[in-house]
Amino acid sequence: MQINIIVLAAGKGTRMRSQRAKGLHTIGGIPMISHVLDAALSLQPASVGVVLGHQADAIEVQINKIDPRIQRIDQFEQKGTGHAVQVAVDALPASAVTLVVYGDVPLIQPQTLEAAIASATKGRVGLVTAVFADPAQLGRIVRDDEGAIQRIVEFKDASPDERQIREINSGILAAPTELLHGWLNKVEPNNQQGEYYLTDVIAMAVADSVYVDGIFAASPDEVKGVNDRIQLAELERVYQHQQVEDLMLQGLSVADPSRVDIRGTLNIGQDCFIDINVVFTGDVTLGDNVYIGPNSVISDSTLGDGVQVKPNSVVEGAVVAGGCELGPFARIRPGTELGRGVKIGNFVEVKKSKLSAGVKAGHLAYLGDATIGPDCNIGAGTVTCNYDGRNKHPTVIGRDVFVGTNSTLVAPLHIGDEAFIAAGSTITKAVADSELAVGRGKQRNITGWTPPVKSKK
């Protein structure tokens, strides 16, 4: 049977206190609406429509990045969840099944949605519920003496006894589209909010002798929504724990699972170790036996087997071959390629450069727009002057080159194989193979000079 999915994302999210649409706030570096849509699309539905209102254009940009086939449905007046679904369901084929999910419930799992849909394909209503230790102001599930679901009551409309119920309505449901359409046409705003509640269709289903199948979420966290930044932070920690736990089951060692953040995708080899306060963003791949030291940030990079990233280092947009050592306090910027066994030490910055196997830059250097051959030694304080104020220029260094301490290499520049750059030199002209280049000012030693006298206070 054809499945159509409606995602409700029209609300203002007033309690977020933000100029950004609520669905665009992130969990794990990914907008909440994207989490929901990923779960929805994994079910391979015939269509997905997102009901939008507040900041519709901004959310549409995000959903188009995920799949341009996702339909934008405008709810020009926000009259409640029942009205939002009605706006969307009118265009859907009557013979299908409709699943309703929410753009601010980011941790919903495909398995739970599949169970709701399976119930709807049997002519029932599949309603996702959960038991909360503290249901707060969520809608309550009211069952009869035999345990069958009878209706949903919103907290503001609930009696004192109903407020004691701990089973809550997630708002997520699946139903035969023809039945859902008919029930929505009967919904009235008979509540304190004056809104059209989607939840009212449950009592209508019961009245029509349509069985309401309660689908328990695997965890209450799965159906928690985000209405403010406190709830956003709570679900962020839940999500991070889920990500890290999954990787640990794959063989990752983590010093403290509560102090690792994965804001994107992390793929790992065997026997990797992640120390505390490490952040991964974008798409990151680690080979076997990779060590990431504390307080490091790895973004959109691939690290080969045996790479060691020492504490307080940043690696962004780089490809790092096996056996490299980076840091501590190293910064590897986008466009960098490091060959096997390269060593980048403390306070060394590498930007858009290719360093061949065995290159060593141990201390306090800047290497930008450089191509460096194998087995070169780059002394402390070396700078490739790649920018003339308007354009970037390359520095090309051959193999087995020694660059002495505090050397300034003014690009564009070519240095040949086995050349030697004397410490303290400013090099502005090409250096041929095996040449020694000395670019210092002439030293003068003055005898009998008078040192300055310290002034009296």
Is residue 46 in a domain?
yes
Is residue 457 in a domain?
no
Query: Of residues 429 and 1, which shows the higher confidence score?
Result: 429
Strand ranges inside 321-407, DSSP E: 325-326, 331-332, 337-338, 343-346, 349-351, 354-355, 360-363, 366-368, 370-372, 377-378, 383-385, 395-397, 402-403
pLDDT above 80 for 191:
no
- The two most distant CA atoms of the chain are separated, in Å, by 110
- Per-residue confidence at 120, pLDDT binned at 50, 70, 90? very high
The verdict on 254 and 271 lying in the same domain is yes
Whether the upstream peptide bond of residue 328 has omega within 30° of 0, thus cis, is yes
Is residue 247 in a domain?
yes
State the total domains in the chain.
2
The verdict on 179 and 95 lying in the same domain is yes
pLDDT above 90 for 233:
yes
Q: Print burial letters for 260-297: b (CB count within 10 Å at least 16), e (below 16).
A: bbbbbbbebbeebebbebbbbbeebbbbebbbbbbbbb
**For 290-302, what is the mean pLDDT?**
98
Is residue 447 in a domain?
no
The verdict on 36 and 176 lying in the same domain is yes
Say how far apart CA 116 and CA 215 lie, in whole Å: 6
The verdict on 272 and 189 lying in the same domain is no
The verdict on 265 and 401 lying in the same domain is yes
The verdict on 235 and 214 lying in the same domain is no
- Of 89, 96, 131, the residue nearest 117 (C-alpha): 96
Last residue of a domain, one of 223, 248, 277: 223
Say how far apart CA 400 and CA 291 lie, in whole Å: 28
Q: What is the per-residue pLDDT across 361-387, written as a single tens digit (0 to 9) for each?
A: 999 999 999 999 999 999 999 999 999
The verdict on 53 and 197 lying in the same domain is yes
The verdict on 184 and 251 lying in the same domain is no
Q: What is the per-residue pLDDT across 12-32, written as a single tens digit (0 to 9) for each?
A: 889 999 999 999 999 999 999
Is residue 11 in a domain?
yes
The verdict on 108 and 197 lying in the same domain is yes
Query: Is residue 359 within 8 Å of 397, Cβ to Cβ?
Result: no
Q: What is the per-residue pLDDT across 77-96, written as a single tens digit (0 to 9) for each?
A: 889 999 999 999 988 999 99
Q: What is the per-residue pLDDT across 320-332, written as a single tens digit (0 to 9) for each?
A: 999 999 999 999 9
The pLDDT value recorded for residue 189 is 87
Say how far apart CA 9 and CA 50 lie, in whole Å: 7
Residue 30 neighbours by CB distance under 10 Å: 15
Query: Is residue 381 within 8 Å of 366, Cβ to Cβ?
Result: no
Q: What is the per-residue pLDDT across 338-363, written as a single tens digit (0 to 9) for each?
A: 999 999 999 999 999 999 999 999 99
The pLDDT value recorded for residue 130 is 97
The verdict on 283 and 174 lying in the same domain is no
Residue-number span of the structural domain to which 255 is assigned: 229-437
Q: What is the per-residue pLDDT across 154-187, written as a single tens digit (0 to 9) for each?
A: 898 899 999 999 999 999 999 999 999 999 999 9
Is residue 445 in a domain?
no
pLDDT above 90 for 190:
no
- Of 272, 204, 214, the residue nearest 244 (C-alpha): 272
Active centre residues (catalytic): 363
- Of 386, 404, 406, the residue nearest 396 (C-alpha): 386
Is residue 455 in a domain?
no
Q: What is the per-residue pLDDT across 216-232, written as a single tens digit (0 to 9) for each?
A: 999 999 999 999 999 99
Last residue of a domain, one of 174, 207, 223: 223
CATH number at residue 11: 3.90.550.10
Which tokens sit at 408?
A: 């300034």
Last residue of a domain, one of 193, 223, 253: 223
pLDDT above 80 for 146:
yes
The verdict on 197 and 331 lying in the same domain is no
Is residue 451 in a domain?
no
The verdict on 351 and 389 lying in the same domain is yes
- Which uninterrupted H or E stretch holds 215? strand 212-216
CATH number at residue 306: 2.160.10.10
